[in-house]
Chains A and B, each alone.
Chain A
Amino acid sequence: MTWEIVIGLETHAQLSTASKIFSGASTAFGAAPNTQASAVDLALPGVLPVLNRGAVERAIRFGLAVGGAIAPRSVFARKNYFYPDLPKGYQISQYEAPVVTGGEVAIVVDGEERRVRLTRAHLEEDAGKSLHEDFHGMSGIDLNRAGTPLLEIVTEPDMRSAREAVAYAKALHSLVRWIGICDGNMQEGSFRCDANVSVRRPGAPLGTRCEIKNLNSFRFLEKAIEFEARRQVELIEDGGTVRQETRLWDAQKGETRPMRSKEDAHDYRYFPDPDLLPLAITPASMEAVRATLPELPAAMRARFVEAYGLPPADATTLTASRALADFYEAVVRHAGGEPRACANWVLGELSALLNRLEVEADASPVGPAALAGLVRRVLDGTVSGKAAKDVFAAMAAGEGEADAIIEAKGLRQVSDAGAIEALVGQVLAANAKLVEDYRAGKEKAFNALVGQVMKASQGKANPAQASAILKAKLG
């Protein structure tokens, strides 16, 4: 009997505002402890929160991008719990009336497009940080992060494998950066996932779920879900039952383990925050935000397939990040068309270079105009595809533009029929055995002869031309 894994994700995306959600303190990462914690963030007596327009606009951007409903009136609530990095004793969040309801995110798994439905997305503030290293047996509290705006994005239990969950997390990660609401920096905690995992027999009601916290990389997300699903299946098959609980991913041990917490830790006693009036979003302010939205990845992917004739898989890869998609479009523009050749270069040599340097396309040492220059030289036959890779490597090393490198390194392809014919003559005379093999019907011998001609030309002969001349001479 098989088991079905059911996964829902909750993602906290840190919104890229300059100031905090309810105070005028900076959100910049890496400041000295508590230098960016204002009186509001510290919950000093008598202070009042004032909502940041930038955070609201980013929430609207997200809602529009996923096709969700933007609430004309939403409410902030207090989520009550005690922890030293939460000085107020409650987190300001949204509960019954979130800013965004519904919507969906498209994912591609094994070449097939699927949609993951969103339940909601709501605004809330982050907590501070507790440092448990030894401060004379005490904990150190840094409240710089307290009050940083977050958008918590919750899915329906729509995913059925760890790979689907990762595909969703990557698509969401790409989307929030694409629409400019979150920098997506996972090391700094700007994009964090919690996974709700349960297992069931296909068609059966949903099983009891466990929530895994602390997943700050796509690899951990995948491994934690796989481990947790296996743990639950083994537990049930051994006659046990799954207990609803919060678990932590232990990356060192590669396992999830229950978080030590009190039974009533999750009684948050939400109620509307009397310090904050309801948030009104008018149709006009929503339309103002809509006007600033860029073309979205799904629309761009469809356009690449339709207008440029790219295979869907290539279009998907090119639209994985806005930086790469913009780079590709710039190459096409500079090359004056040839979208497929440009795509091959961007997905091939350029992507390999970016991976090696671990940078995004907008920080590429070879710019779109320079790459387009090289693509044009390949297409007009100035350099062979093979020599072009050497030219690209030289460009990446900062040796200049394609044309200059081709001249300096003498990589210009020989397309002069007379010169190639002379080379072919030499090769035929020197390789009687290969000629004999070819005439005896060995196709491989022909390729070997082409190779010899290329070698004799030091790689500069136009291979198509060399091949044609050889064929003609061999009759």
Chain B
Amino acid sequence: MLSRDDVRRIAELARIEVPEEGLAAVQHDLNGIFGLVERMRAVDTAGVEPMAHAVDLTQRLREDKVTDTDQHELFQACAPQVEDGLYLVPKVIE
């Protein structure tokens, strides 16, 4: 079962803002989902290879060729702020 703190942490990792008064409802919903997961976990899967994709196919590869051309002006037309070809974002420094 997820605690209130688990919910806060998951929200933080996903960058989703959950107001304090909404925590209980989200906790309740997530625990409902975890309940379903727990029921599935009860199935014996020993010897079953984990599934990596819902479709039982393997991927086709692309030849190593440059096929995309410069469209930065088009792409940047919808960016909030651009300078010298760079996208500007709130300052982040680690």
Binding site for B on A (CB under 8 A): 17-19, 23-26, 32-39, 42, 44, 50-56, 73, 75, 80, 82-84, 96-97, 130-132, 135-143, 259-261, 264, 267, 269, 272, 274, 276-280
List 4 A-B pairs, minimum CB-CB distance, nearest first: A54-B64, A24-B67, A140-B86, A280-B58
A19 touches B66 (CB 8 A): yes
Q: With A34-B87, A52-B64 given, can you name 20 additional A-B contacts, CB distance below 8 Å?
A: A19-B62, A24-B67, A34-B72, A39-B71, A44-B75, A50-B60, A50-B61, A54-B63, A83-B92, A84-B92, A131-B86, A139-B88, A139-B93, A140-B88, A141-B88, A261-B94, A264-B13, A274-B53, A277-B53, A279-B58
Query: Could you jot down 25 A-B contacts, CB within 8 Å?
Result: A18-B65, A19-B66, A19-B68, A23-B68, A24-B65, A24-B67, A25-B68, A26-B66, A33-B72, A33-B86, A34-B76, A51-B59, A51-B61, A52-B62, A53-B62, A56-B61, A84-B87, A131-B86, A138-B90, A139-B91, A139-B93, A140-B87, A141-B89, A278-B53, A280-B59
Indicate if B83 sits at the interface (CB-CB under 8 A): yes
* B73 CB, min distance to chain A CBs, angstroms: 9
A39 to B64: give the CA distance in the assembly, Å. Answer: 17
**Is B20 an interface residue, CB under 8 A from the partner?**
no
Which positions 2-32 of chain B face chain A at CB distance < 8 Å? 9, 12-13, 15
**What B residues does A139 contact at CB under 8 A?**
88-93
Give the dominant DSSP class at A's interface: loop
Contact in complex: B92, A278 (CB < 8 Å) = no
Report the tally of A-B residue pairs with Cβ distances under 8 A.
133
B47 within 8 A of A: no
**Using a CB–CB distance below 8 Å, which chain B residues touch chain A?**
9, 12-13, 15, 50, 52-55, 57-68, 70-72, 75-76, 81, 83-94
Query: Which residues does chain B contribute within 8 Å of A141, judged by CB atoms?
Result: 86-89
CA distance A44 to B87 in the complex (A): 14
Whether the pair B93, A135 counts as a contact (CB closer than 8 A) is no
Q: How far is the CA of A272 from the CA of B55 in the complex (A)?
A: 13
Alpha-carbon separation in the docked complex, A73 to B70 (Å): 34
**Contacting pair A24 B86 (CB below 8 A):** no
Name which residue of chain B comes closest to A44, CB basis.
Answer: B75
CB of B61 to closest CB in A, whole Å: 4
Closest chain A residue to B60 by CB distance? A50
Residues of A within 8 A of B55 (CB): 277
Q: How far is the CA of A52 from the CA of B58 in the complex (A)?
A: 14
